[in-house]
A and B are shown apart, each in its own frame.
Chain A
Amino acid sequence: MQGISSDFIIVLGGTILLLCIFGFIFFFVIVYNKRYRKHEAEKVEMLKQFELEKLQSQLEIQEQTLKNISGEIHDNIGQILSLVGLQISTIPTDKPEKREQTSELLDRAIEDLRNLSKRLDTDRITSIGIIEAITHEMKLIERTGKFVTELSVEADFEMLSPDKTIILYRIIQEILNNIIKHSKATKISIQLRDNDSEDILVIEDNGIGFDMKSMEGKGLGLNNIVNRAKLIGGIATINSSINNGTSITFKIPKKITNHV
Chain B
Amino acid sequence: MKWLPYLITFKHIFILKLNDILNNLDILSPLIVLLFLLFIKSELKGGFRWFVYYIISIFLFATATEIFDIIYHHKNNLLFYHFNCISYTLILFKYFSFHIKSKFSKKLDYFFLAPFIILSILNFIYLKRTFTNYGLTSIWVSIKCLSFYSQKLSSPTRENILESRNFWIFSGLFLYFSVSFIIFITYDLLTISYLLGNYNWVVNLWMIHNVILFLSCLFYIKGIKCKE
Contacts and interface: CB of A to CB of B under 8 A. Distances in A.
A39 interface: yes
Q: Which of A2, A18, A25 has the most CB of B within 10 A?
A: A25
Given A6-B200, A25-B171, A17 B161 contact: no
Given A6-B201, A14-B208, A17-B182, A25 B174 contact: yes
A27 B160 CA distance: 15
A31 B178 CA distance: 21
B159 interface: yes
B162 interface: yes
A35 B153 contact: yes
B204 A35 contact: no
Interface string A28-43: 1101110110010000
B161 A33 contact: yes
A31 B118 CA distance: 40
B205 interface: yes
Nearest to B219: A25
B161 to A, nearest CB: 5
A10 B179 contact: no
Given A25-B174, A35-B153, A6 B198 contact: yes
A7 interface: yes
B217 interface: no
Nearest to A14: B208
A155 interface: no
Contacts of A83: none
B136 to A, nearest CB: 19
Contacts of A217: none
B161 A21 contact: no
A10 B204 contact: yes
Contact of B161 (A10, A13, A22, A32): A32
Q: Which of A13, A14, A35 has the most CB of B within 10 A?
A: A14
B220 to A, nearest CB: 14
Interface residues of B, number: 24
A145 interface: no
B211 to A, nearest CB: 8
B175 interface: yes
A32 B152 contact: yes
Given A10-B208, A17-B179, A36 B171 contact: no
Given A33-B162, A35-B157, A36-B159, A21 B200 contact: no
A3 interface: yes
A29 B198 contact: no
B212 interface: yes
Contacts of A32: 152-153, 157, 161
A6 B199 CA distance: 11
Interface in A99-119: none
Given A3-B200, A10-B208, A17-B182, A36 B175 contact: no
Interface string A19-62: 00110010011011101100100000000000000000000000
Kindly list the 5 A-B residue pairs having the minimum CB-CB distance in the complex, ordered from nearest: A36-B157, A32-B161, A35-B157, A14-B208, A39-B157
5 contacts: A11-B208, A14-B179, A18-B212, A31-B153, A33-B160
